[in-house]
Amino acid sequence: NAGVTQTPKFRVLKTGQSMTLLCAQDMNHEYMYWYRQDPGMGLRLIHYSVGEGTTAKGEVPDGYNVSRLKKQNFLLGLESAAPSQTSVYFCASSYSLFAGGQETQYFGPGTRLLVL
């Protein structure tokens, strides 16, 4: 099992450019999440999904969009990148609580994004 993978690992964007971050998991998890990590602020939830075809806003959703067309993939899009979106982005997945799954989230290795 690869677990949770993220592509790309690192990207530099200019202000106004768009890009998509891909997260994939091979554990058949229902729940998937996108976080951003900034110095001194821990991880903040951007968007999450409780199943294929569903998405919901987290703590800091503005400027981002997501899609969950397939259960194993969760895409994070930046339509018009801003310097404030310079951060490290983490994807995570977990079993569904309602299926009696574990409370543990499994994280990907992160994507470092620099917006100039």
Partner 1 sequence: AQTVTQSQPEMSVQEAETVTLSCTYDTSESDYYLFWYKQPPSRQMILVIRQEAYKQQNATENRFSVNFQKAAKSFSLKISDSQLGDAAMYFCAYRKTSYDKVIFGPGTSLSVIP
Binding site for partner 1 (CB under 8 A): 31, 33, 35, 40-45, 48, 50, 58, 88, 90, 92, 94, 96-97, 103-110, 112
CB-wise, 74 or 90, nearer to partner 1? 90
Compare residues 17 and 88 and give the one whose CB is closer to partner 1: 88
> What distance in Å separates the CA atoms of residue 7 and residue 103, rounded to the nearest whole number?
25
* φ and ψ of 97, to 5 deg: -60, -40
Cα 116 to Cα 112: distance, rounded to the nearest angstrom: 13
Of 11 and 17, CB closest to partner 1: 11
Nearer to partner 1, 14 or 62 (CB): 62
One-character DSSP codes across 26-51: SS--SEEEEEEE-TTS-EEEEEEESS
To partner 1, the closest distance from the beta carbon of 22 in angstroms equals 17
SS3 11: strand
Report the nearest approach of partner 1 to the CB of residue 34 (Å).
12
The values of phi and psi at residue 99, to 5°, are -95, 10
Smallest gap from Cβ 39 to partner 1, in A, equals: 9
Q: How far is the CB of 33 from partner 1 (least distance, A)?
A: 8
